[in-house]
A = this chain, B = another copy of it.
Amino acid sequence: MRKPTIIDLAKAAGVSPTTVSHAFSGRRKVDPATRERIIALAEEMGYRPNQAAQRLRSGRTGTIALASSMPFAVAAGASRLGFLMEIAASAAMTALTRNMALCLIPPLAPGSNLDSLALDGAIVVEPARDDPLISRFEARHTPIVSIGKVPGRDDIPAVDLRSAQTARLLLDHLYQAGSRRIGLITGERRRTSYEETEAAYAEFAAAHDMPQVAARLDETGGESLAETETMQLLRRNPDLDGLLVTVDAFATGALTALAGLGRRVPQDIRLATRYDGLRARLAQPPLTAVDLHLDQIANIAVEMIFARIEGRDHTIEAPIVTLLPRPSSLP
């Protein structure tokens, strides 16, 4: 009573294994009648092609990597959660439906064993300009799909995170909520989301005749760095009445700073961030954020890397982002 093989199925259907294979793969014509008979019989017998055999034959490994260059302190943190894990959960599920396994790659311990594991493709999350992750995979000829464009690399397929649009959405919202002097805090590394946000901010500032007050923080600094830097920022620019902070850990750090300075949120100064994670939602007050639809993004990334592995080239539009207004910026 072992699992039926393609041979068992072929015998039962009175055809050769070849025909069964073609019936499933569609790589050659088979008579529609026989095809249906085979499919039905397969269903009945509970036949599933053996993956190991398929992979051996095809040379594929059935594994795709999910890698992030964000330092753990931000990407995963002491609690190992957030942005990356949210993507991982969705991507893992979608990969499953494709009979692919998703491997989480730890943030690049230098000279790590990354070379030892065989991969069909890699999904890279928010890479920075000249990110070593990218060159690693390229050196191995591993197909890449990026979540968030790779700065300066339009040739690498990516799921757009729509950061420019996100920034405009948040800035317009802060403006409508009454803010006239808005500051910006992003990260130091050159990621597309920061660059687009900064550009949108510059444009917004110009359009509203607003002075630019911006800071870039070291991502490994986390909440505490954001706290001290926000303090300084407000000391130098006491008239700030709005703050756009792209990284959620920075945003909660900023919130602490504001509380320390005695600025009331949202009455004196309004605060908004990008990623709608637990941090944003549980903050006091809860932070206005944007629904990036990360689950869909993750699925799209998997579909795209899958297409890429198969040699097809398939670009899928990223979902539209939507604003999630919360007390941190509401009157």
Stretch from A52-60, A167-175, A202-210, A263-271 contacting the other chain: A52-60
**Smallest CB separation, A14 vs chain B (Å):** 26
Report A90-113 residues with CB < 8 Å from chain B CB: 90, 92-93, 96-97, 99, 101-104, 106, 113
A33: interface (CB < 8 Å): no
Could you mark each residue 205-224 of chain A with 1 if its beta carbon is under 8 Å from any beta carbon of chain B, else 0? 00000000000000000000
A232: interface (CB < 8 Å): no
A48 surroundings in chain B (CB, below 8 A): 116, 118
A283: interface (CB < 8 Å): yes
A106 surroundings in chain B (CB, below 8 A): 93
**Smallest CB separation, A289 vs chain B (Å):** 11
In whole angstroms, how far apart are the Cα atoms of A85 and B84 in the complex? 11
Q: How many residues of A contact B (CB 8 A)?
A: 45
A117: interface (CB < 8 Å): yes
Q: Are B76 and A80 in contact (CB under 8 A)?
A: no
Among residues of B, the one whose C-beta sits closest to the C-beta of A76 is B89
Chain copies in complex: 2
Stretch from A18-26, A130-138, A274-282, A309-317 contacting the other chain: A274-282
A121 surroundings in chain B (CB, below 8 A): none
A86: interface (CB < 8 Å): yes
Q: Are A104 and B93 in contact (CB under 8 A)?
A: yes
Could you mark each residue 26-70 of chain A with 1 if its beta carbon is under 8 Å from any beta carbon of chain B, else 0? 000000000000000000000010111101100011110000000
Question: With A52-B61, A63-B101, A118-B51 given, is the CB distance from A79 to B278 under 8 Å?
Answer: yes
A281 surroundings in chain B (CB, below 8 A): 79
A322: interface (CB < 8 Å): no
Among residues of B, the one whose C-beta sits closest to the C-beta of A99 is B117
In whole angstroms, how far apart are the Cα atoms of A26 and B306 in the complex? 37
A82: interface (CB < 8 Å): yes
A278 surroundings in chain B (CB, below 8 A): 79, 81, 278-279, 282
- Candidate in A50, A86, A89, A118 with the most chain B CB atoms within 10 angstroms: A89
A284: interface (CB < 8 Å): yes
In whole angstroms, how far apart are the Cα atoms of A80 and B295 in the complex? 10
The 12 listed contacts between A and B (C-beta, < 8 Å) are A52-B55, A52-B56, A52-B61, A55-B55, A63-B101, A79-B86, A81-B82, A81-B85, A81-B277, A101-B102, A252-B282, A278-B282
